[in-house]
């Protein structure tokens, strides 16, 4: 009797356990199927070092970004690859060092914003001479066939990719890179229930806004600003720094508006927000500089569940890591050829030991500098030391304080740290310890206390330049010739149509590395192109056109089936 009772109890237990297991998997499957896909939003600002409230600047009021930092992860050692827009953004969109692929000179043409292939033109004379004394026309960087905007990977995975609205990649943006690029596009424009990758760029903190917003009310008094030691304390400096601070506060308000939109749409619970600047500060010895002042940027990542809220991450991060990190967070394995590394997500990689920076031609002025940074130390090698550190540049001299300081230098009116940055020639090497010298004005390259560290950085730079085959040693006219033989832009071959065994339409171009866009029915003739990545099932009465593009090439003609 007892044996029979035990047997009944055991059978009951087994059935109960089985029922629990079935219920568990049923619930798990329901969670899996109802879980919303992850969205990514990039908030991209311009020309700004880490001088927000959350980074310790008590003079600037940035409550929206400070809240973002308190709910996310704040990175203290994030760096751009170049201290100016276009080469930096090239690295961001491709995940590659600009100096590796010949995209390091600022800038190659007028590609700030998206243009259709028919809108693109290239001037033959822009008043630029390279280090060999040769004229440099406008051109587009031609990348190797496998190097494409990382957004194409997202589009293949079904993500709606929209950019509002800056590109500036050293090549005209391929029509296959984004679903839409415009000054009005929003994440709200995506097809219903489609996950999205949305980039919102603000120009409010750009160098040009120092003069373009000069008549706007200041929200910070000139007497309250922090003056870096390499600027003299004069009214022009205080006024322009106050304008810079006020522009940052105006930018912060716009960031708050965007986050409020996401919240009102119920999207914060499944959206990662990443805030960053494309390079360091916008004043002299900041923008275009190859040291900490030109490369160190703010970077904040906020997760939907506020994971690691308030964490401060001291790892060395490059802006090239942004694209791979987006892919990794979406469980997409980044391509092996990337110089960028995922800093979060499924495919997170080992932290960097150093950040490397480059400075070459900036508009009409040519130089060559390379740097190594580890968060505390800055090593700079000047390959044309006979040139001054602060060179003439028409664009930045529209800032009142910049032109004033250049005038004061010409009259020998500067002294101390302000005089230091106007050195007539540069030392072959520079080395700074940011712990004691945050403004990089005390060159300790000959200090025996740092000999071992300096040698470490020298070796690191040499190895890195060899590894990437640094194109900075090549005159720019030769680089242009390698992209466009005889200075004639190559053209992408037309798309051809074929049918597979299942009757689906296949598209191809014989140009190696070409991406293909297509339009069906009512989309034909618009600026919206679907990215071809698999055979297309087309109805009997449907019409289709297609076009191919390779980075740096002319687009093909538009052809139809």
Widest CA span in the chain: 112
DSSP conformation class of 36: P
Main-chain phi, psi angles of 275, to 5 degrees: -110, 135
Q: Where are the alpha helices (DSSP H) in 312-425?
A: 322-329, 400-410, 416-420
Given the residues 45, 85, 161, 167, select the one marked as catalytic: 85
CA end-to-end span of the chain: 81
What CA–CA distance (Å, rounded) separates 53 from 228?
17
Beta bridge partners of 106: 362
Residues contacting 430, CB < 8 A, separation 6+: 291, 378, 379, 380, 382, 440, 443, 445
- Buried-state track 453-480, b at ≥16 Cβ within 10 A, e below 16: bbebbeebbeebbeebebbbeeebbebb
| Number of neighbouring beta carbons within 10 Å of residue 11 | 10
Residues contacting 29, CB < 8 A, separation 6+: none
Cβ within 8 Å of residue 456, ≥6 positions away: none
Count CB atoms within 10 A of the CB of residue 212.
Answer: 15
User: Measured between alpha carbons, how far is 452 from 203 in angstroms, rounded to an integer?
Assistant: 42
Q: Which residues pair with 200 in a beta bridge?
A: 43, 164
Distance CA 116, CA 134 (A): 30
Q: Is 85 a catalytic residue?
A: yes
Residue 301 CA to residue 298 CA, distance in Å, equals: 10
The β-bridge relationship of strands 296-302 and 559-560 is unpaired
Alpha helix stretches (DSSP H) within 312-412: 322-329, 400-410
Q: Where are the beta strands (DSSP E) in 96-209?
A: 160-164, 180-181, 196-201
Q: Cα(338)–Cα(197) distance, rounded to whole angstroms?
A: 20
Q: What is the 3-state secondary structure (H, E, C) of 488-535?
A: CCCECCCCEEEECCCCCEEEECCCCCCEEEEEEHHHCCCCCCEECCCC
- 520 exposure class (CB count in 10 Å sphere: 0-12, 13-18, 19+): middle
Q: Whose structure tokens read 């190559």?
A: 490
CA 422 from chain centre, in angstroms, equals: 30
Using the structure block, give the residue that is written with the tokens 């706007």. 216
**Residue whose structure tokens are 């170049």:** 82
List the catalytic residues.
85
């Amino acid at each position: 009797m007892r044996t029979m009772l035990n047997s009944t109890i055991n059978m009951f237990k087994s059935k109960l356990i089985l029922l629990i297991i079935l219920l568990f998997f049923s619930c798990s499957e329901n969670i899996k199927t109802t879980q919303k896909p992850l969205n990514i939003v990039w908030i991209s600002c311009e020309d700004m070092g880490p001088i927000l409230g959350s980074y310790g600047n008590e003079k600037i009021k940035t409550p929206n970004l400070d809240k973002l930092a308190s709910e996310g992860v704040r990175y203290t050692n994030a760096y751009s690859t170049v201290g100016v827009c276009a080469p930096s953004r090239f690295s961001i969109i491709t995940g590659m060092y600009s100096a590796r692929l010949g995209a390091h000179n600022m800038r190659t043409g007028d590609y700030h914003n998206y243009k259709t292939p028919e809108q693109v033109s290239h001037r033959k004379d822009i008043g630029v001479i390279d280090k060999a004394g040769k004229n440099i026309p406008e051109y587009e960087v031609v990348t190797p066939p496998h190097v494409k905007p990382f957004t194409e990977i997202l589009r293949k995975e079904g993500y709606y990719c929209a950019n509002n609205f800056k590109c500036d990649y050293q090549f005209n943006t391929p029509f296959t890179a984004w679903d839409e690029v415009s000054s009005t596009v929003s994440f709200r424009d995506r097809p219903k229930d489609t996950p999205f990758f949305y980039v919102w760029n603000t120009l409010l903190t750009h160098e040009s806004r120092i003069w373009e917003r000069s008549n706007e009310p200041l929200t910070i008094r000139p007497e309250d600003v922090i003056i870096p030691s390499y600027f003299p304390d004069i009214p022009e400096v205080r006024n322009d720094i106050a304008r810079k601070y006020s522009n940052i506060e105006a930018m912060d308000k716009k960031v708050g508006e965007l986050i409020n939109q996401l919240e009102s749409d119920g999207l914060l619970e499944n959206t990662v927000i990443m805030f960053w600047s494309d390079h360091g500060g916008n004043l002299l010895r900041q923008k275009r500089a190859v040291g900490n002042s030109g490369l160190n940027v703010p970077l904040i990542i906020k997760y939907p569940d506020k994971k690691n809220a308030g964490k401060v991450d001291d790892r060395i991060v490059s802006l090239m890591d942004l694209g791979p990190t987006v892919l990794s967070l979406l469980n997409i394995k980044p391509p092996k050829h990337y110089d960028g590394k995922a800093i979060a997500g499924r495919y997170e990689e080992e932290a960097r030991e150093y950040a490397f920076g480059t400075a070459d031609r900036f508009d009409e002025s040519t130089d060559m500098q390379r740097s190594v940074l580890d968060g505390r130390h800055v090593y700079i090698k000047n390959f044309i030391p006979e040139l001054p550190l602060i060179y003439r540049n028409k664009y930045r001299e529209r800032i009142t304080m910049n032109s004033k300081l250049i005038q004061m230098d010409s009259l020998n009116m500067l002294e101390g740290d302000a005089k230091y940055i106007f050195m007539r020639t540069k030392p072959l090497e520079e080395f700074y310890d940011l712990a004691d010298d945050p403004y990089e004005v005390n060159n300790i390259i000959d200090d025996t206390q740092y000999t071992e560290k300096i040698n470490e950085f020298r070796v690191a730079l040499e190895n890195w330049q060899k590894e990437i085959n640094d194109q900075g040693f090549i005159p720019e006219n030769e680089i242009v010739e390698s992209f466009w033989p005889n200075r004639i832009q190559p053209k992408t071959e037309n798309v051809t149509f074929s049918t597979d065994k299942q009757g689906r339409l296949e598209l191809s171009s014989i140009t190696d590395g070409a991406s293909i866009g297509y339009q069906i029915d009512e989309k034909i003739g618009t600026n919206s192109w679907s990215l071809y990545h698999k055979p297309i099932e087309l109805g009997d009465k449907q019409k289709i056109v297609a076009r191919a593009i390779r980075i740096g090439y002319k687009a093909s003609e538009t052809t139809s089936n």
